A = this chain, B = another copy of it.
């Protein structure tokens, strides 16, 4: 029977999908004052984690802090629901340090859903969006499977792996969203009708095993940190869990038996048998992929991670697979500590549709349809944090669009979110895109510890950071500056005490007096050491103020250089390329450059310069053409 349509309510912003992207998008839009609707297939699966039970880690952890500084929810939510917290790479420079939390998956989902329910401007509803309402290339709303037509000024699509999702385990293949949920079957086709180019990607997840059947003695325990740390600026050290209240992870390894098992059954691996059409993630490869690609590696690390506090399910980080269940079971049993492990869920691959992201502006609005934004897995990324970062940006811009305000763009030097979005819209992506520190050219600026300093101002201006928090932030900033200034006012003299201290550290003795901040630049000297030689500040400083003082002084030279590069770039970023420019009319452009420019339609000369195939010669032709001012439009 034909489902009858009816006109339902009108909203400012509609967000489709309550995954990690959709939750941030909807909260941001609503908090900016937009009447917002968040529509999702299954209300039990709000902010559901279909894969790893953790948030953060290299690059990703920095994104979480960026989302937090912009007033997003992921940081606060994981701070409420983590079961273990660890700062990674503490031995290395501040640019690569990153926080990672093990999450209680169910608690994370429940807490996020409750936050959304309590948000005044936001309505959360279960339903499947089947189509968009579009008039003259302007989005006007969405149509659901129950026939409801909702009006909106902006729509954000964050449909994740549910878009024509297909689960694959060995020879078994069936339509499904993540973890046997309903997939979204109709929206993709309708996007194609609207002219979007879709691609088929795939990702996978490892088996889960029963913790009661693991022999932990055969593995290495990995405990959480004793020293407090949080993702959100708003979280307090006093709420930090004692190590004994955190849950451990456990390290083990695959071995030759595991690898043989996989090799012997590669003909049944959907990745190689031809069953999987989608392109998989290079940086989260399945174990069968790793065995093939790194054939001579004798073993691979596996982390056994708890799925939550009130469950005994454990996640086998590193054993993502879509091998037949029979083989999975044997693989698991070949591993030390897992000889008798009961598999509770098999690993599986999932194939899904993405919207090729070169079709987007840096605001995450689609070029094709005004007011339509896409974010998250839909844009070809992989990972909860990548999704949340894009969701935040798309939500803000959908909100700005609805309010008639100017949209924002995050530059590569502003945030990892900026790096990611620029990569996506400038280069598109042929495989699931994951953030890595190596993707950022300004790593030393885009630090974990300074995300608040980089973005709180913007978050506040957008109305996403409360005045109260903003004041606390200003206080922190002032304390950092005051202490940095103070350290420039004390001189440390080369007396016995100082030189004994340096000798113990294996450092050269002082000959002349130096300013305290100079002294701090010595690699072996910590801020706390200084206080042996100069008076303590009037009031004890927060550890996060000290951290900044230390990093900013120690790395001053490098940081300054990085900012100089950024300045140069900014001048290029300022050179806008007019909309709808007709590249065919520009004489002298190389053919490849012409094609790429037509496809990507960069917004600035800087973005054009990052397109592979666009050479400096092409760039200067383009620059001159624009400067002359006589622009042909398509």
Main secondary structure of the interface of A (DSSP, over half): mixed
Assess the B123–A342 pair: CB atoms within 8 A: yes
Residue on B with the closest CB to A273?
B1
Assess the B325–A148 pair: CB atoms within 8 A: yes
The 8 Å CB contact of A180, one of B42, B114, B310, is: B42
Contact residues of A between 311 and 338, Cβ < 8 Å to B = 311-313, 324-326, 329
Contact residues of A between 1 and 53, Cβ < 8 Å to B = 1-4, 6, 8, 41-45
Assess the B114–A268 pair: CB atoms within 8 A: no
- Chain copies in the assembled complex: 2
Residue on B with the closest CB to A274?
B1
Assess the B146–A324 pair: CB atoms within 8 A: yes
- Complexed CA–CA distance, A170 and B212 (Å): 46
Nearest Cβ distance between residue A174 and chain B, in whole angstroms?
Answer: 8
Chain B residues near A8: list those with CB within 8 A: 326, 329
- Contacts known (A117-B212, A147-B324, A173-B1); A43 close to B310, Cβ less than 8 A: no
The 8 Å CB contact of A147, one of B275, B326, B344, is: B326
Interface presence of A171 (CB below 8 A): yes
Assess the A145–B172 pair: CB atoms within 8 A: yes
Residue on B with the closest CB to A325?
B146
Interface presence of A124 (CB below 8 A): yes
Interface presence of A210 (CB below 8 A): yes
Residue on B with the closest CB to A41?
B180
Chain B residues near A329: list those with CB within 8 A: 8
Assess the A148–B326 pair: CB atoms within 8 A: yes
Interface presence of A118 (CB below 8 A): yes
- Complexed CA–CA distance, A138 and B245 (Å): 50
Chain B residues near A180: list those with CB within 8 A: 41-42, 126, 181-182
Mark A415-426 against chain B: 1 for CB-CB distance below 8 A, else 0: 000000000000
- Complexed CA–CA distance, A326 and B326 (Å): 47
Interface presence of A554 (CB below 8 A): no
Interface presence of A129 (CB below 8 A): no
Mark A171-198 against chain B: 1 for CB-CB distance below 8 A, else 0: 1111010011110000000000000000
The 8 Å CB contact of A170, one of B146, B211, B346, is: B146
Chain B residues near A172: list those with CB within 8 A: 3, 145-147
Residue on B with the closest CB to A180?
B182
Nearest Cβ distance between residue A503 and chain B, in whole angstroms?
Answer: 57
Nearest Cβ distance between residue A622 and chain B, in whole angstroms?
Answer: 50
Residue on B with the closest CB to A6?
B326
Interface presence of A345 (CB below 8 A): yes
Pairs A–B under 8 Å by Cβ, sample size 19: A4-B268, A4-B326, A6-B326, A8-B326, A41-B180, A44-B106, A110-B311, A114-B312, A117-B211, A117-B311, A120-B212, A127-B346, A146-B169, A146-B324, A147-B170, A147-B324, A147-B325, A176-B182, A182-B182
Q: Which 9 A-B residue pairings sit nearest by Cβ, starting from the closest?
A: A146-B325, A6-B326, A117-B312, A126-B345, A1-B171, A180-B182, A3-B171, A3-B172, A42-B180
